[in-house]
Structure formats: structure tokens, C-alpha cells
Amino acid sequence: MKTHAIDLAGERVLLDARRAMAWPREDALLIADLHLGKASLMRQAGAALPRGTTTGDLQRLSALVADHQPKKLLVLGDLTHGAETLDAPWLRRFAEWRRTHAWLAITLVAGNHDRHMVLPELDIDVVPHLDIAPFHLSHAPATHARLHLIAGHLHPAARFRDGRIAHRWPAFWIGERRSVLPAFGTLTGLAPVSAERADSVYAVTPGGILAL
């Protein structure tokens, strides 16, 4: 149950429990909202967070790339969290990761957080939005006249009660005309979705993808 195949606007896509969506026909891997560097910024502000979150997130991304073998990585915004000096440790680690994945084409659909920082030469295309039929990719969810819109930004979450324990899990929020990916970064918040009748919600649980 690590991945779950669904049909989206006529395309077969895989929802991966590591919070990514694979699109085999296009050899693409889609992720949203990494918020790299958030832990570092929080530490500077006085929050005692241990190091290792960036490394953990990048390891997860490496495993995804190894499993799905995509040719391109499409990031739906908020790759980084805020302004940082170019010698920040997490940025060095990310640059290193980029070097070992140099063959991968990366496109960043710019998000609201990305405006704080211009990334150095990492060979990343930055675009305001991207159309690859039948999908329109953007950071903030809106609507598109023709294409099925895939977005991030919301950090959708699903709630579920299991006995006396209430869970909140990151979720894929799949609609008729619009879908939202879960946030990829570890240190990202969650916002419960208010799904409509026609929508499907897939929760990312420790045990795999759960269709709700």
C-alpha cells in the first residue's frame, strides 16, 4: 500500500505514501511544499529544534527518485521557506543532493515562500505555472477553464478516529477539476480539508495510503 494508482483526468497516476505523486507516462514526479530551511530559521528565532530534518527530507526524495525513475521533478511551489545566507548548511546539503541528481530536470512552479530567496546555480527552472496537458500545475489552488489543476500550498490533512485516538494525516485531496498534493516537508503544518461530495481524500498514514 505504499503507492496507490488512480485515474486523474484520464491519466494513470500513482499516489505515493512518501507524499509524492508519480506520473509514469510523462516520467514525472510531482511534489509540493518542501519548505527547506524552515528548521534552521526556527532555530535562529530561538526554537530548540535538532538538526537532521533537511537530510531526512532529501533522503526521502532520493528514495522516491530511485523507485520511480522519473526524468523530471516538478515542484509545485515553496521549495524553500525563507531568506537565508548562501552558506547555510541546509543549502549546502541541497546543492550536494542536486549534484548527485544532475541528470534530473527540475522545474519549480514558484510559490509564495519562494520569493524570499533566489537560489544559486542549481539548474532549476523557475516558472509561474506550467501546462502539461491534461494538467495545469500551479502553487495556489484556483481553477482552470480547460485543464485539471494540480496545486500545493494548502498542506491538506485528513482526520480520522481510531478508537479513542484521533489522527491527523497529510492527505491527497483529489477533486473533479482540481487536486491538491500533501506538503512534502517534515516540518510543515496541516490544514484539514473540507472535501465536497465529489472529492476523494487519500490519507498518508504510517501504514500506507488510505482512501477515505
Binding test (CB under 8 A) with another protein, winner from 12, 69, 96, 207:
207
Q: Could you say whether residue 205 binds another protein (CB under 8 A)?
A: yes
* Backbone phi, psi, residue 130, to 5°: -145, 130
**Least distance in Å: CB of 172 to another protein?**
15
**DSSP helix/strand/coil, 79:** coil
- DSSP element (H, E) containing 54: helix 53-68
Nearer to another protein, 51 or 71 (CB): 51
**Least distance in Å: CB of 100 to another protein?**
22
Judged by CB under 8 A, how many residues of this single chain contact another protein?
A: 41
Cα separations in angstroms, 8 against 14, 27, 45, 134: 10, 16, 42, 9
DSSP string, 101-148: TTTSEEEEE--TGGGG----SS-EEEES-EEETTEEE-SS----SSSE
Nearer to another protein, 30 or 39 (CB): 39
Strand partners, 174: 179, 200
How far is C-alpha 128 from the chain's CA centre?
16
Question: Helices then strands (H, E): number in the chain?
Answer: 3, 16
Nearer to another protein, 81 or 136 (CB): 81
Nearer to another protein, 24 or 82 (CB): 82
Q: Site map for another protein, 13-52, x if CB under 8 A?
A: -------------------------xxxxxxxxxxxxxxx
- Dihedral angle sign, alpha carbons of residues 116, 31, 53, 186: positive
**Least distance in Å: CB of 88 to another protein?**
9
Nearer to another protein, 134 or 207 (CB): 207
Footprint (CB under 8 A) of another protein, residues 138-197: 160, 162-165, 168, 186-190, 192, 194
Can you give the binding site for another protein, defined by CB under 8 A?
Answer: 1, 38-53, 56, 81-82, 89, 160, 162-165, 168, 186-190, 192, 194, 205-208, 210-212
